[in-house]
Amino acid sequence: MTGLFITLEGGEGAGKSTQARLLAECLRAQGHDVDLTREPGGTPGAEALRELLLFGGYGLSARAEVMAHFAARTDHVEQRIAPMLARGGVVICDRFTDSTEAYQGYGLSHGDPAMLGLIATLRGLIPVVPDLTFMLEVPPAVAQARLAGRGDGRTDRYEAEGAAFHARVAGGFDAIARRDATRCRRIDASGTTQDVQQALRDIVTPLLPHA
């Protein structure tokens, strides 16, 4: 793989989608070949699995839910991410494997070692690893205010969980950032959109291929 694979992670309302879009626009304007995508989703099959996972209401077992996230990811990687990286492009992905570890491993399964082990095993089957992961961090009150301000109405299965769940998810991201400290860059995302974007660009710029 010769391209650059960037992921954005963090809790809901941290500003991942906003920052991913602005970063993609900036890099495209500089002449880079950029694919902006998201998980779960990014291909027709993975988007169908996204709908099932976020809004299906089927009450999947915990292991089945993890495997469904990885089924979507496998399709996304094989059909979209890996080919783009092989062409030397930049992939910016809104959430990736760290979200499965944080939400399913720490949030839903309370850090159960067996579940974290399953996630690690499945992660080992994914042939790409992000070169750089931005961990966007905001206090819960800031995230809640942003989500309330958005007011788009449709609440997914994870957003509907309570504060204790989201605190475990935040703890999961913290554990990942400490473990994978070279790949993960923690970003204080409570500032203005422009300030946060500048922090991301300062880190990405030295890593870019020549446009």
Q: Taking contact as CB under 6 A, which single stretch among the options 7-15, 84-92, 123-131, 180-188 is the one that binds ligand Z5A?
A: 7-15
Least Cα distance to 135 among 88, 70, 200, 42 occurs for 200
Looking at beta carbons only, is 87 or 110 nearer to ligand Z5A?
110
According to the annotation, is 61 in a ligand binding site?
no
One-letter amino acid identity for 35? D
What pairs with residue 187 in β-bridges? 136
39 sits near ligand Z5A (criterion: CB under 6 A) = yes
Region of 25-33, 85-93, 175-183, 191-199 interacting with ligand Z5A (CB under 6 A):
191-199
Distance CA 109, CA 51 (A): 21
State the Cα–Cα distance between residues 30 and 37, nearest whole angstrom. 19
Please state, in angstroms and rounded to a whole number, the distance separating the CA atoms of residues 194 and 185.
18
Q: Residue 131 half-sphere exposure, CB side, CA atoms within 13 Å?
A: 19
- Whose Cβ is closer to ligand Z5A: residue 21's or residue 33's? 21
> Which three-class secondary structure state does DSSP give residue 92?
strand
Helix (H, G, I), strand (E, B) or coil at 132: strand
User: Quick one: 2 or 61, whose CB is closer to ligand Z5A?
Assistant: 61
196 binds ligand Z5A (CB under 6 A): yes
- Flag whether 162 is marked binding: no
Of the two residues 30 and 193, which places its CB atom closer to ligand Z5A in the complex?
Answer: 193
CB of 181 to ligand Z5A, least distance (A): 21
Q: With binding defined as CB under 6 A, does residue 43 bind ligand Z5A?
A: no
The string of DSSP letters for 170-196 reads: HHHHHHHHHHTTTTEEEEETTS-HHHH
Q: Does 149 bind ligand Z5A (CB under 6 A)?
A: yes
Q: Which stretch binds ligand Z5A (CB under 6 A): 77-85, 118-126, 145-153, 172-180?
A: 145-153
Q: Which residues bind ligand Z5A (CB under 6 A)?
A: 12-18, 38-40, 54, 69, 95, 99-100, 103-104, 146, 149-150, 156, 158-159, 192-193, 196
